[in-house]
């Protein structure tokens, strides 16, 4: 009897400990830092929105889609070629699919944007949230760190990227990295949110590639 009681007590402690660890992990994951501030010596570069874009890819068991999103504004601050701070605003109304044509393309883009009546909240709901924003918190060892805000939810992310200079023009190009869309409340077709979807689900992770061009202000 005593042995059974000890086993049950031990299992309870393990369960509580595991739950506590998971909560701690979630809290740490959700923490964001203050945006980096440029020094007085830094030079401002204005993002060329016509030459910059974010490439995306989403997948499901039966296939995948890919496309681009444009930026509406942005600045990068450099000091002797070193990135000190930066931010850019993402135009969510510019969501573009590149692997479909005609009505299929228009239907997917409308669904992603949330311009279909009754399906506004499935993905990005651009009527309510027309922009997203990224604020850099640091850049070190070719790793960009920052806060990404989508649908008024902000989470810290990081991704590898290289910065090159060409006269008064700077270019920042990331490697392809992944984000979990459900962190920002984009839950449509998510098996982790709706476990009874079977094989009719959309991957939580999206592949992202950032390509920025900025000119000396």
Is 27 in the same domain as 73? no
pLDDT given for residue 16 in this prediction:
41
pLDDT given for residue 6 in this prediction:
40
The domain in which residue 23 lies consists of: 1-31
**Total tally of structural domains belonging to the chain:** 2
Could you tell me the two tokens for 199? 């094989």
Is 135 in the same domain as 182? yes
Rounded percentage of the chain residues whose pLDDT exceeds 90: 84
Is 118 in the same domain as 100? yes
Question: Which residues on adjacent β-strands are paired with residue 209?
Answer: 55
Is 2 in the same domain as 98? no
Is 84 in the same domain as 176? yes
Question: Does residue 122 surpass a pLDDT of 70?
Answer: yes
Closest CA to 94 of 118, 112, 117, 74: 112
Is 42 in the same domain as 122? yes
Is 197 in the same domain as 128? yes
Q: What is the CA radius of gyration of the chain?
A: 21
Is 11 in the same domain as 47? no
- Cβ burial of 210 (10 Å; 0-12, 13-18, 19+) is buried
CB of 209 within 8 A of CB of 179?
A: no
Q: Give the residue-averaged pLDDT of 188-205.
A: 96
Is 110 in the same domain as 133? yes
Q: How does residue 32 score in pLDDT terms, banded at 50, 70 and 90?
A: confident
Question: Does residue 10 surpass a pLDDT of 60?
Answer: no
Question: Does residue 5 surpass a pLDDT of 70?
Answer: no
pLDDT in tens, 138-194: 999 999 999 999 999 999 999 999 999 999 999 999 999 999 999 999 999 999 999
Is 62 in the same domain as 143? yes
CB of 148 within 8 A of CB of 154?
A: yes
Is 79 in the same domain as 178? yes
36 backbone dihedrals φ, ψ, rounded to 5° = -65, 140
Mean model confidence pLDDT for the chain: 89
Is 117 in the same domain as 206? yes
CATH of the domain at 63: 2.40.128.110
Alpha carbon separation from 165 to 20, 30, 84, 160 (Å, rounded): 47, 34, 15, 17
Q: How many CB atoms lie within 10 A of CB 33?
A: 12
Q: How does residue 11 score in pLDDT terms, banded at 50, 70 and 90?
A: very low
């Amino acid at each position: 009897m005593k042995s059974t009681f000890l086993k049950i007590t031990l299992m309870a402690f393990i369960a509580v400990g595991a739950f506590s660890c998971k909560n701690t992990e979630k809290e740490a994951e959700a923490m964001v830092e203050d945006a980096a501030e440029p020094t007085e010596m830094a030079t401002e570069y204005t993002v060329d929105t016509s030459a910059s874009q974010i490439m995306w890819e989403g997948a499901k068991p039966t296939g995948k889609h890919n496309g681009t999103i444009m930026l509406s504004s942005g600045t990068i601050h450099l000091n002797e070629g070193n990135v000190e701070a930066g931010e850019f605003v993402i135009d969510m109304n510019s969501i573009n699919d590149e692997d479909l044509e005609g009505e299929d393309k228009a239907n997917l883009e409308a669904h992603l944007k949330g311009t279909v009546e009754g399906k506004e909240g499935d993905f990005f709901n651009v009527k309510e949230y027309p922009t997203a924003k990224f604020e850099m918190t640091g850049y070190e060892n070719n790793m960009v760190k920052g806060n990404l805000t989508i649908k008024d939810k902000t989470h810290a992310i990081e991704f590898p990227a290289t910065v090159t200079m060409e006269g008064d023009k700077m270019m920042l190009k990331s490697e392809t990295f992944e984000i979990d869309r459900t962190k920002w409340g984009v839950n449509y077709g998510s098996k982790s949110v709706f476990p009874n979807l079977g094989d009719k689900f959309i991957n939580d992770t999206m592949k992202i590639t950032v390509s920025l061009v900025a000119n000396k202000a």
